[in-house]
């Protein structure tokens, strides 16, 4: 028999086990950068603070069976939350937000992508749950289940004292943590995964109310900002160079700039795209950055069509698909362009069937327009070569001029490819993801080359401009060790990480003859104004945050969605200002070099968010200049 004095509260056991497990996940499975001993202390404390707060509530449950049931299920639910975030993190180096939970309909389409992210050892996450379950079911006599009122009050008070202490330390180490929380990694590192989710829920409720209470009064300030900081006087030298031409836009899945002009196992990764670098009809932007966040491909589409920033949480296509927009397809439609999207995926994925009409697209050729078989599909669906092969017949039927977007699929995580489709060998590193990346990139390169030939054969090539853009990164920071090996670096620094956010942008204008490689700092936010300029179109009173990439007086920074930014002189990331040319942190004499741009970027991202959350374009009467 166990004496009553030797009994231990089950919530204490659950707290200790759950806290230890959570810390191990934080420290060794998430890549949370620890810069000093205070950050390490906070990281150790916050798992136990969160666990204590959750499990200590059980002392107020009088009935023993219900008290045990509460602890069991809280341990299980908490572990499922950790597991879900871990799987998500392995793919995106990010944490789940509430808007993404509403994208659950996409999960069925992820298939092998999710399975490849689950590890055998993940089962160990549930060991403490099993132990707590066993104790609460079979050995209730060894744990305390009854507490005096004073003990209950003390436990509750202690949980809140610990929580406030955690927040106090976090605010000391990271001032304005909650008001400048562009980066979810900071929140998880300083206040813990579960408190982060509570904060995310509160933020979600707040932004939902913005649409209800918005009345357009925010617009004058935003318009003034755009007029003073974004609008450019005059026109670029390439204004109207593609007037009345078709626009063919290729969104190249997960294509990053580090493969362009590079080799693997002695072979070119992208021989066709490399050939465009020397093509006199092609402009290549070597410092072009993706600016997507959790919406990935759909975020890149949103940027391209609107010249607005995506949201820091979830995908705009899902969370605000019913908004009013003033998008590129709508503007081109007013000038007589027919617009269509070609993408061999379910029309409901990323809510495209609702979002595309709101952007002004006339038609969407989704998976139903294609003949997809077991032989011509892999991974996420139809392979790129049959995709372009089957698309060309539809393209030939469109009324000209047209604006069309082609979204490829094959070069998508987990980068699967049939042996007969591989033209180059896999890389050899500790990362299967990076190893498999190169053959699928080569396959996509070959498919784009094939598409160019098909356009020529169909008589569409000469009357079109062709834009090829990488939509977002393909290799996340979880594979930095393998990436450093490939790039022959000792490590991937925060500076290197930002440079790996560069994606290719090719603007091919047949017969132009003046193409070149441009080093201008540009991003996806610039696509809409650039296309309008190339086509010789202007829009009065438009609201946007990008510039014509060919304009000499364009703004001197590109903002990433998390608040980082790039200028021709500096890169700002992880609260550090680096020299763009060398990657070295700025010296003490230049300590404030990035400060002005930090404030501008925060303001700009905030204005873009206001437009989306408040659906402010419903209050604007846009006019076309010509």
Local structure of residue 544 (DSSP, 8 states): -
CB atoms within 10 A of CB 497: 19
The two structure tokens encoding residue 238:
């390439």
Q: Which of 98, 297, 287 is nearest to 202 (CA)?
A: 98
**Scanning the structure block, which residue is given the tokens 């042996």?**
419
Alpha-carbon span 311 to 307, nearest angstrom? 13
**493, 268 contact by CB (below 8 A):** no
Alpha-carbon span 169 to 190, nearest angstrom? 8
The two structure tokens encoding residue 250:
């290729």
3-state helix, strand, coil in the chain (%, to 5): 50, 10, 35
DSSP reduced 3-state for 573? strand
| DSSP letter string, 476-529 | -GGGHHHHHHHTT-S---HHHHHHTTB--EEEE-TT-----EE---EEGGGHHH
CA 192 remoteness from chain centre: 21
Active site residue: 22, 97, 292, 297, which one?
297
Angle at 406 between CA 320 and CA 253, to 5 degrees: 80
Give me the count of residues in the chain.
626
**Scanning the structure block, which residue is given the tokens 């699929």?**
409
Q: What is the CA radius of gyration of the chain?
A: 27
Is there a catalytic annotation at residue 297?
Answer: yes
Q: Which of 176, 55, 26 is nearest to 598 (CA)?
A: 176
**523, 291 contact by CB (below 8 A):** yes
Alpha-carbon span 85 to 97, nearest angstrom? 10
Within 8 A by CB and 6+ apart from 339, the residues are: 329, 332, 333, 360, 361, 362, 363, 402, 403, 404
Alpha-carbon span 273 to 371, nearest angstrom? 28
Residues labelled as active-site residues: 297
């Amino acid at each position: 028999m166990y004496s009553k004095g030797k009994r231990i509260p089950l919530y204490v056991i659950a707290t200790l086990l759950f806290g230890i497990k959570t810390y191990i996940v934080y420290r060794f499975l998430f890549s949370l950068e620890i810069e000093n001993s205070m950050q390490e202390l906070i990281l150790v404390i916050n798992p136990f603070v969160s666990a204590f707060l959750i499990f200590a509530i059980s002392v107020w449950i009088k009935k023993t069976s219900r008290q045990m049931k509460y602890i069991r299920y809280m341990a299980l639910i908490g572990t499922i939350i950790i597991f879900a975030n871990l799987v998500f993190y392995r793919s995106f180096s990010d944490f789940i937000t509430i808007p993404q939970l509403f994208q659950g309909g996409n999960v069925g389409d992820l298939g092998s992508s999710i399975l490849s992210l689950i590890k055998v050892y993940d089962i160990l996450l549930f060991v403490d749950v099993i132990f707590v379950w066993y104790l609460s079911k079979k050995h209730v006599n060894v744990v305390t289940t009854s507490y005096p009122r004073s003990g209950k009050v003390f436990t509750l008070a202690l949980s809140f004292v610990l929580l406030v202490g955690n927040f106090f330390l976090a605010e000391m180490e990271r001032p304005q943590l909650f008001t400048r929380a562009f980066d979810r990694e900071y929140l998880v590192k300083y206040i813990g995964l579960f408190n982060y989710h509570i904060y995310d829920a509160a933020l979600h409720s707040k932004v939902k109310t913005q649409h209800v209470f918005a009345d357009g009064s925010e617009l004058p300030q935003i318009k003034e900002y755009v007029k003073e900081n974004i609008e450019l006087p005059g026109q670029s030298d390439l204004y109207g160079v593609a007037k009345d031409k078709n626009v063919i836009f290729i969104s190249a899945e997960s294509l990053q700039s580090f493969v362009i002009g590079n080799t693997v196992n002695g072979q070119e990764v992208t021989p066709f795209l490399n050939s465009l670098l020397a093509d006199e009809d092609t402009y290549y932007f070597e410092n072009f950055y993706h600016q997507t966040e959790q919406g990935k491909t759909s975020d890149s589409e949103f940027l391209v069509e609107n010249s607005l920033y995506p949201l820091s949480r979830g995908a705009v296509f899902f969370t605000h698909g019913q908004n009013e927009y003033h998008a590129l397809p709508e503007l081109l439609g007013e000038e007589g362009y027919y617009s269509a999207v070609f993408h061999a995926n379910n029309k409901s994925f990323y809510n495209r069937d609702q979002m595309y009409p709101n952007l002004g697209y006339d038609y969407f050729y989704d998976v139903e327009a294609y003949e997809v078989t077991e032989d011509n599909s892999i991974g996420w669906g139809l392979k790129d070569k049959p995709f372009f092969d089957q698309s060309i017949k539809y393209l030939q039927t469109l009324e000209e001029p047209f604006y069309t977007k082609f979204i490829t699929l094959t070069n998508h995580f987990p980068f699967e490819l049939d042996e007969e489709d591989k033209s180059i060998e896999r890389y050899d590193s500790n990362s299967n993801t990076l190893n498999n990346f190169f053959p699928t990139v080569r396959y996509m390169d070959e498919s784009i080359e094939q598409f160019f030939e098909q356009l020529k054969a169909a008589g569409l090539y000469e009357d079109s401009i062709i834009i090829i853009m990488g939509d977002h990164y393909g290799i996340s920071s979880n594979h930095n060790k393998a990436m450093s090996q490939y790039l022959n670096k000792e490590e991937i620094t925060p500076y290197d990480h930002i440079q790996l956010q560069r994606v290719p942008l090719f603007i091919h204008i047949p017969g132009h003859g003046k193409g070149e490689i441009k080093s201008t700092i540009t991003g996806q936010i610039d696509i809409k104004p650039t296309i309008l300029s190339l086509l010789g179109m202007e829009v009065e009173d438009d609201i946007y945050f990008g510039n014509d990439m060919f304009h000499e007086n364009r703004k001197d920074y590109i903002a990433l969605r998390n608040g980082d930014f790039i200028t021709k002189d500096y890169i700002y990331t992880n609260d550090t200002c680096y020299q763009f040319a060398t990657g070295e942190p700025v010296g003490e004499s230049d300590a404030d070099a990035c400060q002005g741009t930090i404030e501008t970027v925060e303001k700009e991202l905030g204005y873009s968010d206001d437009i989306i959350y408040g659906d402010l374009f419903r209050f604007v009467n846009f006019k076309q200049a010509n």
